[in-house]
Each structure stands twice: as structure tokens, then as C-alpha cells.
Structure 1
Amino acid sequence: MKIKAYRTQFIQALSIIYDEGEAESFFYLILEEKKQLKRIDLALQPDLEFSEEEIRIWNAILEQLKLEIPVQYLLGKTHFYGLEFEVNENVLIPRPETEELVEWIIGSQKLEVRSEKSESKKLKILDIGTGSGCIAISLAKNIPNAQVFAIDVSEKALATAQKNAEMNQTEVHFIKTNILNINNLQELPASNFQLPTHFDIIVSNPPYVRNIEKQEIKKNVLDNEPHLALFVEDDNALIFYRKIAELARKNLTQNGQLFFEINQYLGKEMISLLENMNFKNVELRKDIYGNDRMTKASV
């Protein structure tokens, strides 16, 4: 069967659940992974065909997509900030908005280096709630003078993050702990490395979706991605931000920076939280979709 003909059937079969553009993007993601062909290859070679075995494999994937299992989980990987990451049911699938947060951090450090006229300082960075490791690993890869540490409560998530660090040839020190249960970052268990007493940057993309917002979440996310990394109680939506900010007050260096990805509906509340805790230079930034999505503050 010609691949172009199967492509039409594939998109039509998913059009009940997804819009055509999204269904088409799934097709080309799978095509590149399974047959190492890009959109341009199919355009230039319209007579390319699938074997019967390939059609069987594609049909199996199609049935899983109809169940709204994320295509990234089916492929076992995704791309984030120009890097490839393994993803599975133990970690969230990295979002484009989080890439914007990473870009903000990297850009701010380039400005710091230029202002200090020194690239020799070893930056100590801590990522809290690392999941797949996408933030920590991207920072380690793109800030040459960074020493990066990352925390998560999930042992399975940390195992995935460790694989991703090795796959991307970066050194990140991973720590398993529940951040809500400690009063100072010096309480973190560290066995095979020396934990810094203070950090220059603390960053977190913690759980921030309230239960009242569940109806806004797509079924493929709600039914498949780990709720532990997504949801907070409606009456305590800023629990992680408050705790991490308290730790940052104690464990950031002078003029150290705290970065958060936030709930788009709680931008004003986040600004108030940080200002009331005496953080300086508090800034709220929108994402590419125009939503309040990230904050930066310093001590």
C-alpha cells in the first residue's frame, strides 16, 4: 500500500478525536521514527509503499492513538530544547511553555556573564520536581559553567531522568526527596557528591493544576500523565511555590534567582506571594500563547 494512501486513512481515522493538523503531525512523527522518512521525502517520492508488516505495526499504533494515549509515550521519546528525551507514564511530557522558561534562564545567565565580564564562576543550579529531567539537562547542556542538581519525589521519574542525562551526555546530580518534608536544602540526602550550601539559581515547574481546572485538561493528558506531577488541591494551590520560595530564601546566594513555571490563572497571586516574602525584582512573563506562565525573582 502506498504510504500517501495510508496517510489519508490514518488522518481520517483520527479526525473524530483530533483536529486534522494534529493527526497529521502524529503521522509524520511516527513516520520519521519508524521509517526514517520526513515530510519532504514523501513529497519527493510519492510512490513509496508500506509492507504488510509495517501496516500491521501502524494499525496497532493507530488503535492506541484512538484511545488517546499520547504519541510521545507510544514512541517512548520526545524532543525538548533541541534535545531528545525518553518519556513514559512516570513523567510528564515536556511542554513548549517550559522551553520558554529554560530560554529565559539561559538568556539571563548570558547577561550575567556579560555584566560580570567573567565566565569562570561555577553556577550552582537546582531544579525542583525534575520529572524527565528536561529543565535540568537542558540547562546543564547549554550553560557550560553550570553544576546542576535535581530533585524529585518519584524514584521512577528519577530513573528516567538519569537515563536522559546519560543519553544527552550531561552531568546532573539527582536526589530523591519530598520537598514538602524538609525545612532547609541542607537536609537533602547526598551520598556520592558534595551538595552546595547555596545555589545561584533555583527553578521549579511544580504541580499547579487545580482540581476545578480538570475539565480543561485533554483526555489524553488526564488519563495517561502522572497526576502526582499535575494536580494540587483547590484550597492550597500555591503549596509548592510557597515551600520552594521559603527554601530559596535560605539557600539562594546573594542576588540568586528563583524561576517558576506557574498556573496561568494565578499570576497575580504568585507576584503577591513573592513580594510578601521580600523577594526583589519580581517579574511575571507570558508564554507564546499570551498566558501568564512564568516568574523570576531574586533575593
Structure 2
Amino acid sequence: MKIKQYRTQFIKELSSLYDAYEAESFFYLILENKHKLRQIDLALNHELTFTDADLVVWSTFLNRLKKEVPIQYLLGKTNFYGLDFEVNENVLIPRPETEELVEWIINENKITDKTKKLKILDIGTGSGCIAVSLAKNLPNADVYAIDVSKRAIETAKKNARSNNVKVTFMFKNILELDILKYDYDIIVSNPPYVRNLEKLEIKKNVLDYEPHLALFVDDNDALVFYRKIAGLAHKSLSENGQLYFEINQYLGKEMTELLEKMDFKNIELRKDIYDNDRMMKGIKGDL
């Protein structure tokens, strides 16, 4: 079958679940990953074809997409901040909003003095997308990362190796720690923050396939991770050290009050590309 003809069929079969643009993007992602063909290649050669064996593979992809399995899990990888990351059912799929958080940290911590070192901790690292991206773009930083999932850490270690950076990974439950092992200049975390009451807003492809351990918190204590991490950060950050969070868009006011009560200064709440309160920063001590 001609690939161009199959593309039309592929998009049509997904039309009840995805709009045409999204379905077409899935098609070209699979085409490039499995056949090393790009959209331009198909445009230049309308006679390209799939073999019967190819069609069997594509049928599997199509059936899983109909079950709303995320395309990133089907391909086993995704792109984040210009880097390739392995993803699987043990880690969240990195989001564009988290790229904005990484960009913020990098822009505020680019160092011209090559002798000055930074020590950074990423809490709840998952795929390692934050830690690896910071290590790649802040060469003067020693980066550490914590996660409660051994399988997530295994994935994050692979991502550090494949992107040629050094990150020290630690298997720990942050809620059980009274103190962090080292002092840090920067602590960043994108912890679980979706309340159970918000599950109705979550798409099926996220709710059914991404790890709930990394997503959800109890409605009655939605800030449990933030409160714990901020407390640990207050003990372990260097003077004027920076604490960064990705947050629940509905809890910006509560998060600001939390950091104020814990004596963080220069607190800044920022919106993401979708105009939601999504990330914040606090400084330990007076500037």
C-alpha cells in the first residue's frame, strides 16, 4: 500500500478520538521513528509504499492509539528541552510547562565565572528531564536527583547516560526525610500536585496510563509535598539559595502563603504558556 494512501486511512480511523492535526502528527512521528522518513520525504515521493509486514506493525500502533495510549509511550521516547528522553509507564511524560521551569532556572543561573560551581537538587526526578536538562545546560553545576521509584531512577539514569551528563541519583522517599544529605544552591521540584477532585479534568490517556504515584495527592492535604520540601530546603539551601516549584494552577495563592510563612523571600509566581499559575521561586534569606 502507498504510504500516502495509508496516511489518509490512519487519520480517518482516529477521527473519533483526535482532531485531524493531532492524528496526522502521530502518523509522522511514527513514520520518522520506525522508517526514518519525514513529511518532506513523503511529499517528494508519492510512490513510497508500506510492505505487508509494515502494515502489521502500523495496525498495532493504531489499535493502541485507539485505546488512548500516549504516543510517547508507544515510541518509548520524547523530546524535552531539545534533548531525547526515554519514557515508559514508570515515569510521567515531560510537559512543555516544565520546559518553561527549566528555562527559568537556566536563564537565572548562567555563570560566566568558570571557577564557580553550583550544587542543584531535583526532587521527584521521574524521567530525569529536569536534572538532565540542567546538567546539560549548566556545565558548572553538580546535579543530584531524588525519586521514590526505583524504576523511575533506572529510566533517569539511562537518560543521563544517553545525553552524556553526570547526575547523582538517590532512591529516597522525601516525606520520610528529616534532613537532606548535602547543602545546595538550587532545589527544584515538580512533585505530585493534582487533587483527586480534579480527576474529571484529566484526559483518559493521562489517567489510564501515567503513574498515579507521580500525579495525585489527597484532597485534604494537597500541599503535603511542597510543605515538606520547603522545610527541607530551608535547612539545606545555601544563603540566598533558590527554591523552584512547578505547582497546581489552582493553588498559586496558597503556595505563595506557604513560602511566606516559611520565611522565603523574593517570592515570584509565574504563569505558563497557557496563562495558568504554574511555577514559582523563593529565596532563602535576605538579598
> What is aligned with 2:274?
289
> What is aligned with 1:91?
91
> What is aligned with 2:71?
71
The aligned runs of 1:211-222 (5 Å cut-off) are: 211-222=196-207
> What is aligned with 1:132?
127
Corresponding pairs, count: 284
Letter aligned with residue 28 of structure 1: Y
**What are structure 1's unaligned runs of at least 5 residues?**
187-196
**What are structure 2's unaligned runs of at least 5 residues?**
none
Which stretch of the first structure deviates more once superposed, 32-41 or 152-161?
32-41
Shift of 1:119: 2.9
> What is aligned with 2:8?
8
The CA distance in 2 between the partners of 1:109 and 1:9, in whole Å, is 49
Q: Which secondary structure state, in structure 1, belongs to the residue aligned with residue 200 of structure 2?
A: helix
> What is aligned with 1:193?
none
Shift of 1:122: 1.1
> What is aligned with 2:169?
174
TM-score by length of 2: 0.97
The aligned runs of 1:147-296 (5 Å cut-off) are: 147-186=142-181, 197-296=182-281
Give per-residue Cα distances to partners, 1:211-248, cap 9 Å, x unaligned.
01001111011000000000000110000000000001
Runs of 4+ in 1 over 6 A off after TM superposition: none
> What is aligned with 1:189?
none
> What is aligned with 2:81?
81
The CA distance in 1 between the partners of 2:50 and 2:214, in whole Å, is 39
The CA distance in 2 between the partners of 1:10 and 1:257, in whole Å, is 48
The CA distance in 2 between the partners of 1:150 and 1:291, in whole Å, is 27
Shift of 1:158: 0.3
The CA distance in 2 between the partners of 1:152 and 1:169, in whole Å, is 20
The CA distance in 2 between the partners of 1:235 and 1:27, in whole Å, is 42
Letter aligned with residue 48 of structure 2: L
TM-score by length of 1: 0.94
Letter aligned with residue 107 of structure 1: N
Shift of 1:19: 1.5
The CA distance in 1 between the partners of 2:30 and 2:121, in whole Å, is 34
> What is aligned with 1:46?
46
> What is aligned with 2:36?
36
Q: Which secondary structure state, in structure 1, belongs to the residue aligned with residue 50 of structure 2?
A: coil
Give per-residue Cα distances to partners, 1:176-196, cap 9 Å, x unaligned.
01000011102xxxxxxxxxx
Which stretch of the first structure deviates more once superposed, 34-43 or 249-258?
34-43
